[in-house]
Amino acid sequence: MAGKSIGRKRVVVVGGSFGGVNAAYELRRRLPKDAEITVISRDAEFTFIPSLPWVIMGWRDPARLQVHLDAPLRRQRIRFVQGEVKELDPQKCEVRTASQAHPYDALVIASGAELDYAAVPGLGPEEGHTCSAFTVAEAVAARDALAKVLAADKGRILIGAAAGASCIGPAYEIVMMIDSMLKRFRKRHRFSITFITPEPFLGHFGVGGIGVSPRLLQEEFAERHIESAVNAPISSVVPGHLILADGSEYAFDFSLVIPAFLGCPFVRGVDGMANPKGFITVTPQLASTKFANVYAAGVAVAITPPEPTPVPVAVPKTGHMTELMAQAAARNIAAEFAGGVKVDGLTLPSSCIADAGDTAFYMFADPFLPPRNKVIVKRGKWARYLKLAFEKYYIARIRHDLPSLDFGW
Ligand SMILES: Cc1cc2nc3c(=O)[nH]c(=O)nc-3n(C[C@H](O)[C@H](O)[C@H](O)COP(=O)(O)OP(=O)(O)OC[C@H]3O[C@@H](n4cnc5c(N)ncnc54)[C@H](O)[C@@H]3O)c2cc1C
């Protein structure tokens, strides 16, 4: 398709993470040479977010998880603008940062979510009393807070997720890694570890579980002596204490809680484009249900949970799914411009590795939401090494637009 004359097209991609960079690279591969592709991202760097739990443990240097986007994108003839999109005007077909308007023929929104700490009084690292894991700054602050607590002779560790959270996997990783680390220091017997989750059972992950993941995680928590509370909406946090909706109170010396997400403010500002939480409603081809030349990928997309749960749990959009969605959105934009068959970008598989410090879990689900054609769940140290290798490959891939590898998330 590249090379066919379709008039000079401008595609703007908002976001410089798994969705944005993959969409931009795929657009470059599929659109004619003269197409103008612009990535606008608030952050100057791509961060390999799945390794942030290792930063919290002090096992990884955060600087090694980041790639400055300007040079790699320029090499692929993709313009990079570091800036925050404040406004989207779908009628005029332009997005605006504080200083500039960027017109488009097609737009890809891969701007993730806003972290909704305000939904629970006292939640979050800035105005609240709990740590978090979504940015390098948050992971470094969590690392320092955890190190202080682990240096003491005894303590209470509380890890969890707020009602409505979707990205609960990292909380499982962190709680098991802390357990592993304390065992390594031979201090585990002097610390209590508790896990609080809105999920109806351990290993639900917002998708009703993946194969035997609920059983494996229940056994794992039992072997590790990790106490847990499920169906547990957090109502507030005060210094050193987390309070659930039923009034029960958990004291902690270190706490990390995954918040719920909201869609990005510039998306929420457009009438009718998003669900009540601000996530973009899309067709199976990932085009906005309201504006045909606006596409979305990754966390920004609205996906309905496969089943209602007593306490709300949202569907996670994993890095692997985000990458596949971004590639599908790019293919569909190319098909829109030049004619061609569009692909389904919503019924996707996902693979994921959850590290547990001394072992790891590899999970594959196709499609990600049940009922599924194929599920693999395996436990073993090998999965830790695979995750580490995958991180290195992925960072090289962002630098050099390497081909996709369908494993290892
Ligand atoms: C601690 C942690 C561990 C994880 N581990 C795994 C894992 O092991 N496996 C896995 O598959 N997934 C994992 N995930 C999930 C994975 O990180 C996400 O699926 C992925 O980051 C989603 O990518 P995205 O591009 O949709 O959004 P994001 O990664 O959230 O990126 C959003 C991008 O948009 C930019 N942006 C936001 N607002 C604006 C704006 N207004 N204007 C311009 N730019 C904007 C941001 O700067 C950023 O570049 C993990 C997530 C976390 C937090």
Atom number of ligand 1 nearest to Cα 43 = 47
The CA distance from 193 to 177, in Å, is 11
Among 295, 323, 347, the domain-final residue is 347
The CA distance from 316 to 302, in Å, is 10
Among 347, 364, 388, the domain-final residue is 347
The verdict on 209 and 321 lying in the same domain is no
In a domain, 166, yes or no: yes
Q: Please indicate whether residue 340 or residue 305 has the higher confidence score (pLDDT).
A: 305
As a whole-number percent, the residues of the chain with pLDDT over 90 amount to 95
Residue the block writes with tokens 């891969």: 110
The verdict on 206 and 321 lying in the same domain is no
Q: Which of 129-133, 214-218, 263-267, 405-409 has the lowest mean pLDDT?
A: 405-409
The verdict on 243 and 326 lying in the same domain is no
Number of domains in the chain: 2
CB of 326 closer than 6 A to ligand 1? no
Instruction: Return the active site residues.
Output: 167, 352
Q: Tokens standing for 396? A: 């090289």
Contact status, residue 143 vs residue 164, Cβ threshold 8 Å:
no
The CA distance from 204 to 361, in Å, is 14
Check residue 401 and give its pLDDT: 83
Cα 325 to chain centroid distance, Å, stands at 13
In a domain, 393, yes or no: no
Crossing angle of the two packed helices 213-224 and 169-184, in degrees rounded to 10: 30
Whole-number Å distance, alpha carbon 234 to ligand 1 midpoint, is 24
End-to-end CA distance of the chain: 30
Check residue 2 and give its pLDDT: 46
Query: What is the pLDDT of the chain when averaged over all its residues?
Result: 96
- Counting ligand 1 atoms within 8 A of each CB, the residue from 54, 322, 386, 394 with the most, and so the one to mutate, is 322
- On the question of pLDDT at 1 being above 70, the answer is no
Residue (of 98, 233, 10) closest to 242 by Cα position: 233
Whole-number Å distance, alpha carbon 190 to ligand 1 midpoint, is 35
In a domain, 4, yes or no: no
Check residue 3 and give its pLDDT: 46
Residue (of 217, 136, 160, 225) closest to 189 by Cα position: 225
Q: What angle do CA 212, 217, 222 make, to 5 degrees?
A: 135
The verdict on 270 and 332 lying in the same domain is yes
The verdict on 253 and 301 lying in the same domain is no
In a domain, 408, yes or no: no
pLDDT-based confidence at residue 403 (cuts at 50, 70, 90): confident
| Tens digits of residue pLDDT in 90-106 | 999 999 999 999 999 99
| Tens digits of residue pLDDT in 259-286 | 999 999 999 999 999 999 999 999 999 9
- Counting ligand 1 atoms within 8 A of each CB, the residue from 13, 26, 42, 115 with the most, and so the one to mutate, is 42
pLDDT-based confidence at residue 257 (cuts at 50, 70, 90): very high
Atom number of ligand 1 nearest to Cα 41 = 44
- Counting ligand 1 atoms within 8 A of each CB, the residue from 25, 65, 318 with the most, and so the one to mutate, is 318
- On the question of pLDDT at 4 being above 60, the answer is no
The verdict on 255 and 266 lying in the same domain is no
Q: Tokens standing for 327? A: 């590639």
Residue (of 400, 279, 301) closest to 348 by Cα position: 301
Q: Tokens standing for 89? A: 């005007």
We report the CATH number of the domain holding residue 180 as: 3.50.50.60
Read off the DSSP letter of residue 301. Answer: B
CB of 387 closer than 6 A to ligand 1? no
In a domain, 400, yes or no: no
The verdict on 270 and 252 lying in the same domain is no
Q: Please list, in sequence order, all residues whose beta carbon lies within 8 angstroms of the beta carbon of residue 233, skipping any fewer than 6 positions away.
A: 162, 163, 198, 244, 245, 311
CB of 384 closer than 6 A to ligand 1? no
Strand partners, 95: 88, 102
- On the question of pLDDT at 74 being above 50, the answer is yes
| Tens digits of residue pLDDT in 202-216 | 999 999 999 999 999
The verdict on 125 and 250 lying in the same domain is yes
Atom number of ligand 1 nearest to Cα 21 = 25
We report the CATH number of the domain holding residue 22 as: 3.50.50.100
In a domain, 409, yes or no: no
In a domain, 1, yes or no: no
Q: Which of 75-79, 202-206, 338-342 has the lowest mean pLDDT?
A: 338-342
The verdict on 38 and 162 lying in the same domain is no
CB of 18 closer than 6 A to ligand 1? yes
- On the question of pLDDT at 407 being above 60, the answer is no
In a domain, 358, yes or no: no
Among 347, 369, 387, the domain-final residue is 347
The verdict on 246 and 268 lying in the same domain is no
Q: Summarize the confidence of residues 284-309 as an average pLDDT.
A: 97
- On the question of pLDDT at 64 being above 90, the answer is yes
Residue 333 domain boundaries: 10-115+261-347
Kindly provide the b/e burial profile for residues 39-53, where b requires at least 16 CB atoms within 10 angstroms of the residue's own CB: bbbebebbbbbbbbb
- On the question of pLDDT at 194 being above 90, the answer is yes
In this prediction the pTM is: 0.96
The verdict on 85 and 124 lying in the same domain is no
Amino acid at 350: S
The verdict on 44 and 134 lying in the same domain is no
Whole-number Å distance, alpha carbon 318 to ligand 1 midpoint, is 9
CB of 88 closer than 6 A to ligand 1? no
